[in-house]
Amino acid sequence: MRYILKVQYIGKNYAGSQIQFKNGVETETPTIQGELEKAISTLITDRRNTAENKNRHFKTVFSGRTDKGVNSLGQVIHFDCDEHIVASKFVYQLNEILPSDISVSDLKTVDDGFHAQKSAKRRHYRYVFINRKCKNAFDGDLMRVKFEVDVKRMQKALDYLLGEHDFSSFKSSGTLNPSKVCFIENAQVQKLEDKVIIDITGNRFLYNMVRTIVGTLLEIEGHNLPAEHMKQVLDARDRTKAGQTVSPYGLTLTEVEY
């Protein structure tokens, strides 16, 4: 049977969601996937307690990769298990095993044809940063932008990203997927007191794409450029034309839809 889980995590203590390999060998670097697979395998082994199951390892498939420092409220994974799992009991026990900065919810069974990554229709990301000159002890790991930003201009710049485009200008050099075309369904910015919140929804995202979009917004604001600069960067399909890739700590994968 195939099961899906919704996963929440604080990413700053992990080298991203995906297990890391060096020369084809899995490293001991802590990752979200590594912790989940260890916990799931431990729990199911303890439940069955049979010799044939003693060394069995359960592999997980994520809806998408998140980088070091990126958080999640709605990451989705799937894994296969040949026994019936009682959702409420399994979720409770798994949360007792997992580290304090990782939790799971909403265990469900799905068809064998379901794939956490390939079946996803849209993904929602949120980026939050502080907009004030002075620091505050409760800012946590959020990036602080000292110059005042113009939310109306930021929104106009984001509007140029809506629809289907080649987002090569916003991809990291680490992007392995040759396809650079994404469809951005929604992009909104708002300011609540001294926090700026940027929500972006799309069918897929390139490596570091959201963080580079935010960096380009801040380049526009910091140099008082017109909002149309975003379109010029988009049309250039050249990473050197975009802004810096900003800190990962304000980025959260909020939801994945199927």
Give the residue numbers marked as catalytic.
67
Per the CB < 8 A criterion, the answer to whether 71 and 251 are in contact is yes
Residues 203, 124: Cα–Cα separation, whole Å = 9
Residues 131, 148: Cα–Cα separation, whole Å = 6
- By three-state DSSP, how is residue 103 classified? strand
- By three-state DSSP, how is residue 108 classified? strand
Per the CB < 8 A criterion, the answer to whether 70 and 251 are in contact is yes
Per the CB < 8 A criterion, the answer to whether 258 and 121 are in contact is yes
- Beta pairing class for 251-257 and 71-80: parallel
Residues 145, 130: Cα–Cα separation, whole Å = 6
